[in-house]
Amino acid sequence: MDIAAKGGSQGTVALSYFLDNYWENYMDWKEYTSYACKNIAFIPAVQRGERKLVKPVNAFLIPDWELLGFPILDPTLGEDVVDDVVDILGIEGHPPTSQLVNLLETSPPSTESQACNWFRVLSSHIQGLCHT
């Protein structure tokens, strides 16, 4: 994961190697769980239109969350990579309710238009949010 955290082509190759070989070589190694790697930013993500590497606990699968400023898995990743990242590293679909409440309390929408967009996203995912 340290090599993947370097980014660039070397990081992409390292992440791909890990994902391609996880079930055969690493499944029983506790150091390769998302919990063990939670402090290493190696997940390709997009946040506010900028590509970056983030920690597994900070990346989310559902693209709607980028509108609220949360990093989402880089949409240019192949579907197989996304499926593997979700299965192996436990990437969640949406931020925990506590993070959303914190966002609304500390950085509320600044315009009516932004508020409408945020609450559209929140309302479309309300069922999933009630279980976190």
Q: Show pLDDT as tens, one digit a residue, over the chain (132 residues).
A: 788 888 888 888 888 888 888 777 766 655 555 556 778 898 899 999 999 999 988 999 999 999 999 999 998 887 777 777 777 777 888 999 999 999 999 999 999 999 999 999 999 887 766 655
* CA dist., res. 127 & res. 132, Å (int): 10
16 occurs within a structural domain = yes
* CA dist., res. 33 & res. 51, Å (int): 24
17 occurs within a structural domain = yes
* CA dist., res. 50 & res. 45, Å (int): 8
The CA radius of gyration of the chain, in Å to the nearest whole number, is 16
The first and second tokens of residue 115, run together, are 């508020």
99 occurs within a structural domain = no
53 burial via Cβ count (<10 Å: 0-12, 13-18, 19+): buried
Residue from 15, 37, 19 nearest 27 by CA: 19
50 occurs within a structural domain = yes
112 occurs within a structural domain = no
20 occurs within a structural domain = yes
* CA dist., res. 97 & res. 105, Å (int): 12
Domain count across the chain:
1
What is the Cα 72 distance to its own chain's centre?
5
39 occurs within a structural domain = yes
Domain range for residue 20?
Answer: 4-93
49 occurs within a structural domain = yes
pTM over 0.85? The answer is no
